[in-house]
Amino acid sequence: MRFEHAKTNDIIKWFTEITKIPRCSKHEEKIRAWLLDWAKQNKFETKTDKVGNVVIKVPASPGYEKAPITVLQGHMDMVCEKTPESKHDFTKDPLKLVFDGDWLKADGTTLGADNGIAIAMAMTAAIDKDIKHPPLELLFTVDEETGLTGANALEPGFIKGKLLINLDSEDEGVFTVGCAGGINTNSTIPFKLEAIPANYKQHKIAAGGMKGGHSGIDIAKQKANAIKVLARALSQIRQQVDLRIADLTGGRAHNAIPRDCETVVYFPKDNWEQVKKLIAEQEKIFKSEFKNTDPDLKLTIEATDSGNFQKVLTAQDTKKLIEVIFAMPHGVDAMSTDIPGLVETSNNLANVKLENGIAKILTSQRSSLVSRLHALSDRIEAVARLAGGDGKSGDGYPPWPPKMDSALLDKSKKLYEKMYNKKPVVEVIHAGLECGIIGDRNPGMDMISIGPDLKNPHSPDEKVNVVAVGKVWDFLVELLKELKDMKVMA
C-alpha cells in the first residue's frame, strides 16, 4: 500500500520488516542481530551492553557536527498477545498486517507498533540524506514491556547525548514530559488439596471476550478484568453449590488488563442445570455492568474431561482462593491532586495460575509518588501473608518527574505551534516510560516523548494511524534541524 506522505512509505516499509522478526519481551536476540547487521551495512558504529541494549551512532549532517548529540530512543521488544482462536506462533511467524483506512493493525495479534514504529522512524532518520540533524545515538533497549529491564541495566556513559527524544508515546500532538513509576509483586499462596468427591463431575468455566488493554493508559477506563469477573461468578455459584476448584488460569502480561480467565471445577452432577442457570444470570449482570467498555464479554460453562486431575481444593480452600482474588486490589487506587484527571496510583491484577495447589498471582502497581507505590505494594504483600502465603515485590523503576521549564520542551512547543497553528498538549501519563530511568542514570538529560496515534496497545486490537506517522515524522525532522545551536548541561 502506498501513502501520500512520501516518508510514511519508508517508515512503514521498515516497520513491515520489523513485524517479520520475532521479538517478544526477553527474546530480542533476532531483532538485535538484524539491527546490528543493518548498522554494519550503513557503516554506523554500534555498541551493545551486557543485557543486549544497542546504541547505533549516526554522524551529524554537514554543518551540524558541533550540535549536541541527540538520542532517538525506543525499545526492541513487544507485548505478544493474541485472540483465543489465533494460531499465531510468536516465536517464528511474521505478523499478518491489515490496513483499515488510515489505520494499520494485525490479524488476531498485537501489532507491535509499541514500539516497533519508533525503530522504523529512527532508522529512516539515520539514512535520510535530505534532513539536517545533530550527531545521533539510536538507543534501542530490551525488555521494556516486562519491567523496563533494559533501561534499568543501562550503565552511566553508555550514551553520550544529553538531549533525548523518546518515540514511545501514543498520541500525535501530545508531548509527554513525565510518567509513573512501577513495581511488580509476585504472590505465592499454598492451598489444601483432597481427592475428588464421589459423583462430582468436571466442568470448565471461562470468562472471555473482554477488551483488555494497557494497564497504565487504560486502567481508568473501568474495563472488565477477566480474573475478577470469573472470581465473582465462582463466588455466587459456591454460595449455592459445593464447588471445588482444580485449576485456574488467567491473564498474561503484567502490563495488560486480563481479557480471559478459565477454571476447571468439580461439583455434584445433579447440580448441572442449577449451575448453568447461575452462569447465565451472572453473564447477564456482567454484560449490563460492562456494556460500554466490554460489550462482547461472555461467561461460559461446559462439561469436560480434559486434564488428568486427581485432586481438587478443599471446600474451605476453594472459598479461600476466591476470596484472595476478591481481596487483591485492581484498578485506580488514587487520583492526582496536582494534575486534574491524572491517575496517581493503580494496580493491575495481571495474572493468576493454580498449579499443584499453589496459587501464583502477579500484580503490577504504578504511581507517580514513590511513597504510595510502595504502600500499595506493601498492601498486596499483606493480602498474600494473611492468606498464608508470601508476596515479593521487585525493585521496580522510578517515576519521571515533569520538568516544565525544560529547554527542549519549550523549543518543541514553539515549533509545533508554528508548524500546525495550534498548541500541543503537554502531559504526564500514568504509564511507564524509560525516560525516568534513563534520566536517573544520566543526570542533566533533557527529554521529551512523542509518537503517532496508537490505540489499544498490549491487546490484539492494537492499531497505529499511518497519517499520524507522517505528521510525527515532519515534526521530528524540523525539531532535529532546530537543535543545531541548542545548549545542554555539561
Cα gap 490→483, rounded to integer Å: 16
Averaged pLDDT, 11-27: 97
The CA-CA-CA angle for residues 448, 479, 61, to 5°, reads 120
Beta strands 163-166; 446-449: pairing state: parallel
Residue in 179, 182, 196, 174 with CA at minimum distance from that of residue 152: 182
Active site members = 77, 144
Q: What does the pLDDT look like over 82-134, one tens digit per residue? A: 998 999 999 999 999 999 999 999 999 999 999 999 999 999 999 999 999 99
Residue in 210, 310, 304 with CA at minimum distance from that of residue 250: 210
Q: What percent of the chain has pLDDT over 70?
A: 99
Residue 462, phi-psi category: left (phi > 0), alpha (psi -120 to 50), beta (remainder): beta
Decide if pLDDT at 285 tops 90.
yes
Alpha-carbon separation of residue 451 from 84, 118, 165, 187, 339 (angstroms) = 30, 8, 10, 35, 22
Q: What does the pLDDT look like over 216-268, one tens digit per residue? A: 989 999 999 999 999 999 999 999 999 999 999 999 888 899 999 999 999 99
Residue in 154, 123, 51 with CA at minimum distance from that of residue 436: 154
Averaged pLDDT, 314-328: 98
Cα gap 181→400, rounded to integer Å: 7
Averaged pLDDT, 441-456: 94
pLDDT of residue 302: 96
Query: Which position has the higher pLDDT, 30 or 486?
Result: 30
Task: Provide, for the chain, the percentages of residues in helix, strand and coil under a 3-state DSSP scheme, each rounded to the nearest 5.
Answer: 30, 30, 40
pLDDT of residue 490: 59
Cα gap 396→184, rounded to integer Å: 7
Q: What does the pLDDT look like over 286-310, one tens digit per residue? A: 999 999 999 999 999 999 988 789 9
Mean pLDDT (the chain) is 95
Cα gap 348→346, rounded to integer Å: 7
Tell me if 191 sits within 8 A of 359, measured CB to CB: yes
Q: What is the pTM of this model?
A: 0.80
**Residues 6 or more apart from 347 whose CB is under 8 A from it?**
328, 329, 330, 331, 333, 363, 364, 365, 366, 376, 380
Decide if pLDDT at 338 tops 90.
no
Averaged pLDDT, 257-285: 97
Domains and CATH numbers, the chain: 6-180+399-485 (3.40.630.10), 183-393 (3.30.70.360)
Tell me if 76 sits within 8 A of 30, measured CB to CB: no
Decide if pLDDT at 1 tops 70.
no
pLDDT confidence band for 471 (50 / 70 / 90): very high
**Residues 6 or more apart from 66 whose CB is under 8 A from it?**
none
Beta strands 45-48; 446-449: pairing state: unpaired
Q: What does the pLDDT look like over 135-182, one tens digit per residue? A: 999 999 999 988 789 999 999 899 999 999 999 999 999 999 999 999
Averaged pLDDT, 22-42: 98
Tell me if 358 sits within 8 A of 190, measured CB to CB: yes
Alpha-carbon separation of residue 50 from 142, 149, 212 (angstroms) = 11, 12, 34
Please report where in the chains the cell 500514568 appears, as a residue. 430
Q: Residue 243 — φ and ψ, nearest 5°?
A: -95, 140
Decide if pLDDT at 396 tops 90.
no
Q: What does the pLDDT look like over 348-359, one tens digit per residue? A: 999 999 999 999
Averaged pLDDT, 463-467: 97
Peptide bond into 152 cis (omega under 30): no
For residue 242, the number of C-alpha atoms closer than 13 Å in the C-beta half-sphere is 12
Torsion sign across C-alpha atoms 440, 441, 446, 449:
negative
Q: What does the pLDDT look like over 53-91, one tens digit per residue? A: 999 999 999 999 999 999 999 999 999 999 989 999 999
Decide if pLDDT at 489 tops 80.
no
Torsion of CA 27, 32, 33, 38, to 10 degrees: 150
For residue 227, the number of C-alpha atoms closer than 13 Å in the C-beta half-sphere is 30
pLDDT of residue 224: 98
Decide if pLDDT at 409 tops 80.
yes
Start-to-end CA distance of the chain, whole Å, equals 46
Residue in 195, 222, 170, 158 with CA at minimum distance from that of residue 357: 195
- Tell me which amino acid residue 357 is: G
